[in-house]
Chain A
Amino acid sequence: MTKTLLTLIATAMLSSTAIAAEIKPALVYGTGGKFDKSFNEAAYNGAEMYKKETGTEYRDFEPTSDTQGEQAIRNFASKGFNPVIAVSFAWTSAMEKVAAEYPDTKFVIVDSVVELPNVRSVVYNEAEGSYLVGLLAGMASKTGKVGFVGGMDIPLIRKFGCGYAQGAKSVKSDMQVFQNMVGTTGAAWNDPVRAGELTKNQIDQGADVIYAAAGASGLGVLQTAADNKKFSIGVDSNQNHVHPGSVLTSMVKRVDLAVYNAYKDLAEDKFTAGVQSNGIKDGGVVYAVDDNNKALITPEMKAAADKATADIIAGTVKVHDYMTDNKCPL
């Protein structure tokens, strides 16, 4: 009897606070910060999109160091937030621990895979997206040399570089692709000075389009390219606005959709755990065109990119994924 009463009260309280759907979403960013103009900002945009549509408030947290992620995820889970979304591969082990402790809470991790029955792992086929921007870079390059600056030297980032190189070489087989990594530790995501130096280096060697896949370090790449009047390519979010006229395009991962869909699915009771892989086919990775770069993408480039998109979807062009065998075929 008491139990029924309590449940009734609880239901009444819940329905009075939440109007659209009874979910209490939470979001944990990566250490780059909410407004990094890149990956985390995309997640933020997704949560905002859901909030605007349904009026459901969400809570978020910006860890400033690698040790805070687990605390934040556990904190949200223990306070009854559901689903709890953590963006960044850095929270993989934290997610494994916390998700096992709270089997009734739904979790989502972006950019990594956690094999638990209550976790949805959202991963992207960055190789395909990078192939497309590589193709555009190859067509925009006048010198026949293009560059890639990665953040931390990990297989995920090599995957970006490998897809990019394949795309660039599909334009001209003798295309030269310089590849550099900012560093080998987490500090590499936050070192725009070194990223800028590496970019300058590549420009001195003749590269005229440089693709950054380096988190906040990437801002150094875009800056240096703009200072030297060369093209750059942004990553994760649409970064075309950072230096209009210099950023050729951006390889956008629709992290916003991943966040939005997770909230929506749970609200509509359609949440599924397991690995969700997003490629070109599902619109999970795209190259960004907006007012800032419309003039830079010529009709021929657009046609070639459209054709490559169709070919990848049809399966006639296969983009090699570096992470499958830790090798790049080029």
Chain B
Amino acid sequence: MDYFDIFVSILGSTIRLSIPLIFTALAGLFSERAGIVDIGLEGKMLAAAFAAACLAYVSGSAWIGLLGGIGISIGFSMIHGFASITNRGNQIVSGVALNFIAAGLTIVLGQAWFSQGGRTPGLTGDARFSPIILPGADFMRDVPIVGPLYANVISGNNILTYLAFAAVPLSWWILYRTRFGLRLRAVGENPAAVDTAGISVSWLRFRALIVTGILGGFAGAYLAIAQSAAFINNMSAGKGYIALAALIFAKWKPVPVMLACLLFGFLDAVANFMQGKSIPMIGEVPVQIFQALPYVLTCILLAGFIGIAHPPKAGGVPYVKER
């Protein structure tokens, strides 16, 4: 296997591992830009994964599973909104509570319904999003350089992968080119000004959280019914927090968010690939080093290269109409 094949293989793996991060980080982008700190992304993803797997299993349709995932994720968002917008509760506490609820409830319900240790039964056929082979992929395969890239990296992914990459420019367009986006950004920076303009701060923030819920639902559905074929206990495995780190890393901007997520995905893919391989001059490197690399890199880049990451000014502060 020559170096180019290895590169293509790692790139393919990078795409697959980045998708849940991209969806989740974009979900966080909408809520944080509206001034709601969302540490509950992890819980949304997990609950959505569970709902998607259950509904896809019962209905036999991946699309119904996806809708279910989105529904439950929006539900979680609304609870977060009710606690932190309507009742002006602490956003961190509410988010963490949602994470715990999701982690516990999915296992308990899964065990009660399917008694497989919290897992859901395996999905086959139409109950999963299967890879789409783009036209000409087999024909292109023999073309040097471009061929393998097209056949193994660009083609052969499932529909959610393409939707994730489509969601990035769409998010940018919504945030920077629509009235809703302008108001959403404003409400995260200076809600009093938005209020003075006669726009409801609560309603705007709730709408931002609905968008967050939709994207979180996509992330969960990808985990359970596209990447895997069942829900597994705690299958989000901290991806929500990594996405949050990527969001900070990217200074709350859509395109950099995608790049940061791809970087994390790439490091993960390299860690998987390097396991047990020996590097010239050094020998076999313990796999833990590669597994720790994304976190080490985050520290280094945040401290040295990215500069100060300014969060939206009103982030984490409940809006009180009159003081």
Contact = CB atoms under 8 A, between A and B. Distances in A.
Interface of A: 31-37, 40, 62, 64, 178-181, 184, 187, 190-194, 196-198, 200-201, 204-206, 216, 219-220, 223, 227, 242
A193 B220 CA distance: 13
Contacts of B118: 33, 64
- Candidate in A64, A181, A191, A204 with the most chain B CB atoms within 10 angstroms: A204
A33 B116 contact: yes
A216 B273 contact: no
Contacts of B234: 187, 190
A201 B122 contact: no
B223 interface: yes
A197 B230 contact: no
Contacts of A206: 1
Interface string B13-53: 10011000000000000000000000000000000000000
Contacts of B237: 187, 191, 193
B117 A197 contact: no
Nearest to A220: B228
A32 B273 contact: no
Interface of B: 1, 5, 9, 12-13, 16-17, 107, 111, 114-119, 122, 130-131, 223, 227-230, 232-235, 237, 269, 272-273, 275-276, 287-288
B288 A184 contact: yes
B117 A201 contact: no
A181 B275 contact: yes
A242 B14 CA distance: 28
Nearest to A191: B237
A33 B117 contact: yes
A204 B12 CA distance: 10
A187 B237 CA distance: 9
25 contacts: A32-B117, A33-B117, A33-B118, A33-B119, A34-B115, A34-B116, A35-B115, A35-B117, A62-B111, A178-B276, A180-B276, A190-B233, A192-B228, A193-B228, A193-B235, A196-B228, A197-B17, A198-B272, A200-B12, A201-B273, A204-B12, A205-B9, A216-B119, A219-B122, A223-B122
Contacts of B287: 181, 184
A180 B116 CA distance: 26
Contact of A205 (B1, B16, B232): B1
A201 B115 contact: no
B9 A40 contact: no
B117 A216 contact: yes
B290 to A, nearest CB: 12
Nearest to A187: B237
A223 B228 contact: yes
Given A179-B276, A180-B276, A216-B117, A33 B288 contact: no
Contacts of B272: 180, 194, 197-198, 201
A225 to B, nearest CB: 12
A179 B288 CA distance: 16
A33 B237 CA distance: 19
A64 B111 CA distance: 10
Nearest to B236: A193
A216 B232 contact: yes
Nearest to B16: A197
A218 B13 CA distance: 18
A70 B200 CA distance: 55
Nearest to B239: A193
B223 A201 contact: no
B100 to A, nearest CB: 14
A40 B117 contact: yes
A197 B271 CA distance: 11
A103 B227 CA distance: 49
A223 B227 CA distance: 10
B269 to A, nearest CB: 7
A204 B131 CA distance: 16
Contacts of B17: 197
Contacts of B116: 33-37
Given A64-B233, A184-B288, A204-B1, 17 more contacts: A31-B117, A32-B117, A33-B111, A34-B116, A35-B117, A36-B119, A178-B276, A179-B276, A181-B287, A197-B16, A200-B13, A200-B16, A201-B272, A204-B12, A216-B117, A216-B119, A223-B228
Contacts of B229: 219, 223
A11 to B, nearest CB: 36
A71 B38 CA distance: 36
Contacts of A33: 111, 115-119
Nearest to B123: A223
Contacts of B5: 204
Contacts of A204: 1, 5, 9, 12
A227 B158 CA distance: 12
A180 B13 CA distance: 16
A320 B115 CA distance: 38
Contacts of A184: 287-288
Given A64-B107, A201-B272, A193 B230 contact: no
B133 to A, nearest CB: 12
Contacts of A181: 275, 287
B152 to A, nearest CB: 8
A37 B107 CA distance: 17
Nearest to A184: B288
A59 B115 CA distance: 16
B62 to A, nearest CB: 14
- Candidate in A64, A197, A200 with the most chain B CB atoms within 10 angstroms: A197
Nearest to A29: B117
B270 to A, nearest CB: 11
A201 to B, nearest CB: 6
